[in-house]
């Protein structure tokens, strides 16, 4: 067969075409549920056939879908057999039935519906069969691409697979039907807490939460979380298909499960299991970029709009954007509906570069899944529009049509921004920074900072450390970071090193010292000094000093938990932080074979490695990151148990007393000189005082100031310095306290909770 001037675009290379030459027409509203679920490969049980629907370049010449039996194709790569396909795709524009390519596959034409939409219906294909699209551009160049809507993708480079929707039978139906009182649902009528006040989240990373790193093995982690009672929700870091085992934020198949973690059915089993244990499940998804390995969206259609720091940016506000916005909104709907999650957390929403995309996702989810709560990680210092609800009386159709219209204005050169986006909550960056500053820096200014953010947090997710604060810096946890600051290792490091390297080395040195002290009861002074010298410390501290500072850092860790948990509203811990796990948490990567030889330029590699504090392509980082990898012994064998016991008692108090859930919070007192901060929480006549000593010294004082409670009696119900939690015992037990005229014993770096009594 003669082929005239047909160019070939093998996956992995890039062709240059004018993809924005024609802007897609904007048809009237048509995103009802059937439209949402019509994209990609949709197997119909009633007919045993599959329908295919693809959005590609509006000026595309022709599109075909190639179907192959899963056994015949096996693991063949998307690059193979291209020469045979060129003849069929380029010359047979008018074929009306499937044409066999060889004994392994058959090609079917797709009908052009306009605006870049191509469909093929009633195709003889069944679940797990392989398929891919053959796109003939206006220049008769051929792209062989996987499906942007693929719901099963065995390789990030290869064929897509037809998804079987009947792969799991849900067991905890009472939960799904809203009959289980432990399920948390959004309540937009509650402006202060949006129905999320009881939310206590443990953020987990499937690859590192267990040794096996799979969905099914993660059930053991769910058991542990449920048994401790320290959370009523888990947030699963992204499981979008990407290369091997890492954080999951470099996904390239937005609907498909990362096969290294397990199957879609196994993820459903994990979620169902968590529901049975009384745990809400939040799924993390990434709407802001594509990962670098396995990204072929630019061959599939006008989905991308340039490059960003972490990979390709997406075309949400450039020509031909409408079906790209729909694609991402449909991804959110997919996670909500297919996997029955209770909430969705959207990664770094500001980096999507489109608040209209954010609003569209919110509007679609609120329409179709009104009980699912939505959390943004936005990073714009709690920008008010992100979590402000749309209180207009517009219908869903009117909202979506308005978004289409306003984005059209942006494409034509008119700047507009949405007045309301409407997320139910967001990660509270200002609160996190304020609390971390107060815990680590002991500065007088930190009291005002924590005061302001505490009073304005409300429905926002409060936390001390997430995966970002751990892994984006040096991989170390809160305890080593506190220890590094306490020991002033940064100032003792080699001053010729760049500041970020010194900071990372200080934290890593702290990690090594803590690990050595907690795991080696017989470690000597000389061995500890040698560790410090290896990191460039010229005047190393002796063992007793290192031990004393570890005890102080342990106290600060309890103080951080207490300050967090005594604020009403939703809270979060990262896996293992509630008992000071010693594992690193690194952005470990295992590149796919096609990416194995990829070498970014030297400057890029150095910058990324410096930012994260370790080599991001190190294949051996995973073993350091497994939760529970390091087991304490000796003098500090009980330290993790003591912190866990403190947090259990703390959680019990904050669970059983409504003021800590959804009460009113007030600033009572700031003693800048002694670094003491006091706040109260109140509801229905119940009142508690929370007294925090952020100083490294014992304080015994009485308090009296405007706004401070007078002639009220209190009893202490929790003190972090209690001996049962590994403290020194400077408590106020068995005392009836009149706080404005009686001295309170406040141990260094401690927190005390007082309950008002009649």
Q: Closest Cα partner for 381 from 431, 418, 422?
A: 431
**Does some domain include residue 142?**
yes
pLDDT of residue 609: 64
**Does some domain include residue 640?**
no
Residue 544's pLDDT band (cuts 50, 70, 90):
very high
State yes or no: pLDDT of 77 exceeds 60.
no
pLDDT of residue 3: 29
Q: State pLDDT tens for residues 675-720.
A: 999 999 999 999 999 999 999 999 887 777 767 788 889 999 999 9
Helical ranges in 601-638 per DSSP H: 602-612, 622-625
pLDDT of residue 593: 67
pLDDT of residue 56: 97
Residue 421's pLDDT band (cuts 50, 70, 90):
very high
Q: State pLDDT tens for residues 273-283.
A: 999 999 999 99
What pairs with residue 11 in β-bridges?
13
Question: 579 with 636: CB under 8 angstroms?
Answer: no
**Does some domain include residue 696?**
yes
Task: Round to whole Å and give the CA distance between 579 and 87.
Answer: 63
pLDDT of residue 397: 93
Mean pLDDT in residue range 203-224 = 95
> What are the residues whose beta carbons fall under 8 Å from the beta carbon of 663, sequence distance 6 or more?
568, 681, 682, 683, 686
Question: 428 with 465: CB under 8 angstroms?
Answer: no
State yes or no: pLDDT of 17 exceeds 50.
no
What pairs with residue 380 in β-bridges?
none
CA dist 595 to 12, 144, 540, Å?
Answer: 10, 19, 43
Lowest mean pLDDT among 214-218, 343-347, 632-636, 748-752: 632-636
Question: 88 with 101: CB under 8 angstroms?
Answer: yes
Lowest mean pLDDT among 222-226, 478-482, 626-630: 626-630
Question: 464 with 564: CB under 8 angstroms?
Answer: yes
CATH code for the domain of 151 = 2.60.40.10
Question: 52 with 131: CB under 8 angstroms?
Answer: yes
CA dist 447 to 483, 664, 672, 703, Å?
Answer: 20, 19, 7, 16
CATH code for the domain of 691 = 2.60.40.1180
State yes or no: pLDDT of 338 exceeds 90.
yes
List the beta strands (DSSP E) in 672-749: 676-683, 686-693, 699-701, 713-719, 736-738, 744-746
Question: 750 with 727: CB under 8 angstroms?
Answer: yes
Task: Round to whole Å and give the CA distance between 674 and 442.
Answer: 10
Mean pLDDT in residue range 659-685 = 93
Segment of 87-96, 289-298, 319-328, 618-627 carrying the highest mean pLDDT: 319-328
Question: 519 with 632: CB under 8 angstroms?
Answer: yes
State yes or no: pLDDT of 182 exceeds 50.
yes
Taking the CA atoms of 574, 576, 579 and 581 in sequence, report the sign of the dihedral they define.
negative
Q: Write out the residue range of the structural domain in which residue 94 sits.
A: 8-161
| Final residue of a structural domain among 112, 130, 161 | 161
Helix (H, G, I), strand (E, B) or coil at 60: coil
Helical ranges in 277-321 per DSSP H: 297-300
Question: 63 with 88: CB under 8 angstroms?
Answer: no
Q: Closest Cα partner for 373 from 382, 362, 381?
A: 362
Residue 25's pLDDT band (cuts 50, 70, 90):
very low
State yes or no: pLDDT of 735 exceeds 80.
yes
pLDDT of residue 610: 65
CA dist 712 to 11, 473, 610, 689, Å?
Answer: 73, 46, 54, 11
Task: Round to whole Å and give the CA distance between 558 and 747.
Answer: 12
**Does some domain include residue 66?**
yes
Pair type for strands 280-285 and 233-236: parallel
Q: What is the DSSP code (8-state) at residue 27?
A: P
Task: Say what the pTM is.
Answer: 0.91
Q: Write down the mean pLDDT value for the chain.
A: 87
Q: Closest Cα partner for 747 from 734, 731, 725?
A: 731
Domain count, the chain: 2
CA dist 78 to 139, 153, 593, 660, 673, Å?
Answer: 21, 12, 14, 55, 67
Q: Closest Cα partner for 261 from 208, 222, 224?
A: 208
Indicate left, alpha or beta for 637 from its phi (over 0: left) and psi (-120 to 50: alpha). alpha
| Final residue of a structural domain among 161, 189, 220 | 161
Mean pLDDT in residue range 605-622 = 61
Task: Round to whole Å and give the CA distance between 757 and 753.
Answer: 13
Q: How far is CA 98 from the centre of its chain?
A: 43
**Does some domain include residue 596?**
no
State yes or no: pLDDT of 257 exceeds 50.
yes
**Does some domain include residue 593?**
no
**Does some domain include residue 17?**
yes
Structure tokens at 479: 């305890």
What per-residue string of b and e applies to 470-482 under the rule 16 or more CB within 10 Å gives b? bbebbbbbbbbbb
pLDDT of residue 441: 85
**Does some domain include residue 275?**
no
Q: State pLDDT tens for residues 469-527.
A: 998 778 899 999 999 999 999 999 888 888 888 888 899 999 999 999 998 878 999 99
Q: How far is CA 131 from the centre of its chain?
A: 31
pLDDT of residue 552: 95
pLDDT of residue 283: 98
Higher pLDDT: 444 or 722? It is 722
Q: State pLDDT tens for residues 90-115.
A: 545 444 455 666 667 888 999 999 99
State yes or no: pLDDT of 600 exceeds 80.
no
Lowest mean pLDDT among 235-249, 315-329, 355-369, 405-419: 235-249
| Final residue of a structural domain among 161, 182, 212 | 161
State yes or no: pLDDT of 645 exceeds 70.
yes
């Amino acid at each position: 067969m003669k082929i005239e001037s047909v160019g070939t675009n093998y996956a992995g290379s890039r062709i240059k075409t004018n993809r924005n030459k024609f802007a897609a027409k904007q048809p009237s509203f048509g995103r009802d549920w059937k439209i949402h679920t019509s994209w990609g490969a949709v197997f119909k049980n009633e007919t045993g056939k599959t329908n295919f629907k693809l959005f590609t370049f509006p000026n595309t010449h022709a599109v075909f879908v190639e179907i192959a039996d899963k056994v015949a194709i096996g693991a063949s790569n998307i690059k193979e057999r291209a020469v045979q396909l060129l003849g069929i795709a380029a010359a047979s524009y008018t074929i009306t039935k499937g044409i066999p390519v060889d004994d392994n596959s058959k090609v079917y034409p797709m009908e052009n519906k306009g605006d870049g939409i191509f469909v093929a219906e009633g195709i003889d294909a069944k679940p797990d069969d392989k398929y891919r699209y053959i796109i003939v551009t206006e220049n008769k160049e051929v792209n062989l691409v996987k499906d942007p809507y693929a719901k099963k993708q065995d390789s990030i480079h290869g064929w897509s697979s037809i998804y079987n929707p009947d792969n799991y039978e849900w067991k905890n139906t009472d939960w799904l039907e809203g009959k289980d009182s432990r399920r948390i649902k959004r309540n937009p009528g509650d402006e202060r807490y949006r129905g999320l006040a009881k939310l206590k989240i443990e953020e987990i990373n499937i690859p590192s939460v267990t040794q096996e790193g799979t969905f099914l093995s993660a059930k053991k982690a769910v058991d542990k979380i449920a048994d401790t009672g320290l959370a009523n929700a888990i947030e699963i870091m992204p499981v979008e298909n990407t290369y091997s085992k890492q954080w999951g934020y470099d996904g390239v198949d937005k609907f498909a499960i990362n096969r290294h973690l397990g199957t879609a059915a196994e993820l459903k089993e994990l979620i169902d299991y968590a529901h049975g244990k009384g745990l809400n499940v939040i799924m993390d998804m990434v709407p802001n970029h594509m990962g670098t390995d396995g990204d072929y969206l630019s061959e599939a259609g006008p989905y991308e709009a340039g490059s960003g720091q972490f990979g390709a940016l997406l075309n949400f506000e450039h020509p031909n954007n409408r079906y790209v916005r729909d694609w991402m909104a449909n991804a959110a709907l997919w996670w909500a509906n297919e996997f029955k999650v209770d909430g969705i957390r959207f990664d770094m929403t500001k980096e999507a570069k489109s608040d209209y995309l954010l609003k569209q996702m919110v509007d679609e989810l609120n329409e179709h899944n009104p009980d699912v709560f939505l959390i943004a990680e936005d990073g714009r210092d709690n920008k008010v529009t992100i979590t402000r609800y749309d209180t207009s009386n517009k219908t869903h159709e009117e909202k979506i049509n308005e978004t289409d219209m306003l984005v059209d204005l942006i494409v034509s050169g008119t700047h507009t921004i949405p007045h309301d986006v409407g997320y139910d909550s967001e990660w509270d960056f200002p609160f996190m920074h304020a609390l971390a500053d107060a815990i680590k820096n002991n500065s007088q200014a930190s009291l005002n900072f924590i005061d302001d953010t505490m009073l304005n947090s409300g429905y926002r997710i409060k936390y001390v450390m997430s995966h970002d604060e751990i892994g984006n810096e040096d991989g170390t946890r809160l305890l080593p970071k506190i220890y590094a600051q306490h020991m002033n290792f940064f100032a003792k490091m080699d001053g010729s090193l760049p500041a970020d390297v010194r900071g990372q080395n200080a934290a890593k040195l702290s990690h090594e010292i803590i690990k050595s002290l907690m795991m080696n009861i017989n470690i000597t002074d000389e061995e500890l000094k040698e560790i410090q010298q290896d990191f460039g410390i010229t005047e190393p501290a002796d063992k007793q000093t290192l031990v004393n500072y570890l005890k102080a850092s342990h106290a600060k860790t309890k103080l951080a938990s207490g300050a967090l948990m005594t604020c009403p509203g939703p809270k979060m811990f990262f896996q293992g932080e509630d008992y000071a796990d010693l594992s690193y948490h690194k952005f470990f990567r295992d590149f796919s074979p096609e990416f194995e030889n990829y070498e970014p330029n030297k400057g890029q590699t150095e910058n990324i490695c410096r930012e994260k504090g370790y080599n991001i392509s190190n294949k051996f980082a995973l073993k350091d990151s497994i939760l529970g990898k390091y087991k304490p012994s000796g003098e500090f064998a009980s330290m993790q148990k003591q912190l866990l016991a403190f947090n259990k008692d703390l959680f019990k108090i904050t669970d059983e007393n409504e003021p800590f859930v959804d009460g009113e919070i007030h600033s009572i007192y700031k003693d800048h000189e002694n670094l003491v901060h006091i706040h109260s929480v109140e509801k229905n006549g119940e009142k508690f005082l929370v007294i925090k000593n952020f100083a490294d010294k014992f304080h015994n004082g009485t308090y009296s100031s405007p706004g401070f409670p007078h002639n009220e009696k209190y009893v202490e119900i929790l003190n972090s310095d209690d001996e049962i939690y590994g403290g020194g015992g400077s408590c106020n037990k068995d005392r009836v306290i009149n706080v404005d005229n009686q001295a309170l014993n406040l141990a260094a770096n401690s927190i005390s909770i007082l309950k008002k009594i009649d």
